[in-house]
């Protein structure tokens, strides 16, 4: 015959077991919701057009202060084994245009190459070929910006150590009239983007072949430091 103490102990054990099962179900449900949220948060990039759309959407989120790629600990965990960035951004070194932020891409979503005047050289081309051919990056964006110091230096014929030869590479892009310096800076920045893209295609058969096969796209863009908006050319 079961004593009162044993009966009470049995009831308590059953209650604990039921509570544990219920908690486990709740945790499982939360995991499913979390996974669904992550899936919705990070769109699957299959084509170059998908990558371009995500960058445009990311800049819009940035402008509206609705960023979603800000859980850096989660992003570190998700990318610790490998990386498959969907895009590569070649931009200027200007501190006001961090691509990961202005496109709301966080950690692991884009490669970033930065050099004054967003021009290319063999080292940058090699980096692009690694990103596209080896890592499967779908999109290259060459991004200039308004009020660019490198462009201003070119127009003013500035000279300073190794910077002199860098600025000389931008000189063919000079466009406009000094009577409207702001417009001249912007138009020259756009022309410089166009010439850089042409140089990339001329000097990298690897990239040109990927574009020809439809596996890669290359696009130009200008970032407005006054508004935060990226305009694709």
pLDDT at 128 over 70: yes
**Other CB atoms closer than 10 Å to residue 73's CB: what's the count?**
8
d(CA 87, CA 218): 10
Q: What are the tokens at 64? A: 């509206």
Q: Is the pLDDT of residue 148 over 60?
A: yes
State the alpha helices, DSSP H only, in the chain: 4-41, 48-63, 72-79, 99-102, 122-129, 149-155, 163-168, 181-203, 205-212
pLDDT(213) > 60: yes
Distance CA 233, CA 229 (A): 13
Residue 209 backbone phi and psi in degrees, to 5: -65, -40
pLDDT digits (tens, 9 = 90+) for 176-198: 999 999 999 999 999 999 999 99
So what's the pLDDT on residue 13?
Answer: 46
pLDDT at 23: 44
pLDDT the model gives residue 41:
62
Answer whether 0.75 is exceeded by the pTM. Answer: yes
Instruction: List Cβ neighbours of 198 (8 Å cut-off, separation of 6 or more).
Output: none
Average pLDDT of 7-28? Answer: 42
Task: Compute the average pLDDT of residues 106-130.
Answer: 98
Domain boundaries, the chain: 1-41, 44-232
CATH class of 44-232: alpha beta
Q: Do the Cβ atoms of 175 and 182 come closer than 8 Å?
A: no
Structure tokens that stand for 231 in this block: 């305009």
Question: What is the average pLDDT value for the chain, to the nearest integer?
Answer: 87
φ/ψ (deg, to 5) at 130: -60, -45
Q: Is the pLDDT of residue 34 over 70?
A: no
pLDDT bracket for residue 27 (50, 70, 90) = very low
Integer CA distances (angstroms), 166 to 100, 116, 142, 147, in order:
25, 8, 17, 18
**3-class SS of residue 82:** coil
* pLDDT of res. 74: 94
pLDDT tops 60 at residue 31: no
Helix (H, G, I), strand (E, B) or coil at 106: coil
Nearest to 197 by CA among 210, 208, 213, 185: 208
Confidence of residue 43 (pLDDT cuts 50, 70, 90): confident
Q: What is the pLDDT of residues 14-23, one digit of tens each?
A: 444 434 444 4
Lowest mean pLDDT among 28-32, 123-127, 133-137: 28-32
Could you tell me whether strands 110-114 and 217-223 are parallel, antiparallel, or unpaired per DSSP bridges? Answer: unpaired
Residues in the chain: 233
Q: What is the pLDDT of residue 42?
A: 67
From edge to edge, which strands make up the β-sheet containing 230-232? 110-114, 87-91, 139-145, 217-223, 230-232
- Which pLDDT band, with edges at 50, 70 and 90, does 25 fall under? very low
């Amino acid at each position: 015959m079961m004593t009162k103490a044993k009966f009470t102990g049995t009831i308590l054990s059953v209650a604990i077991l039921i509570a544990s099962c219920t908690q486990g179900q709740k945790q499982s449900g939360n995991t499913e919701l979390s996974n669904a949220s992550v899936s919705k948060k990070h769109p699957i990039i299959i084509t170059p057009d998908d990558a371009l759309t995500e960058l445009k959407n990311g800049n819009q989120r940035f402008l509206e202060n609705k960023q979603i790629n800000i859980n850096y600990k989660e992003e570190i965990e998700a990318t610790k084994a490998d990386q498959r960035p969907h895009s590569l951004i070649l931009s200027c070194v200007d501190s006001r245009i961090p691509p990961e932020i202005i496109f709301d891409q966080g950690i692991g979503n884009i490669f970033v190459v930065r050099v004054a005047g967003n021009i290319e050289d063999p080292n940058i081309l090699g980096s692009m070929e690694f990103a596209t051919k080896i890592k499967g990056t779908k999109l290259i964006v060459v991004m200039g910006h308004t009020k660019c110091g490198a462009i201003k230096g070119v127009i003013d014929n500035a000279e300073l150590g190794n910077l002199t030869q860098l600025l000389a590479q931008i000189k063919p892009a000079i466009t406009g009239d000094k009577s409207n310096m702001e417009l001249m800076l912007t138009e020259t920045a756009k022309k410089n983007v166009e010439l850089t893209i042409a140089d990339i295609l001329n000097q990298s058969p690897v990239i040109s072949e990927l574009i020809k096969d439809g596996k890669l796209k290359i696009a130009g863009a200008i970032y407005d430091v006054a508004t935060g908006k990226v305009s694709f050319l």
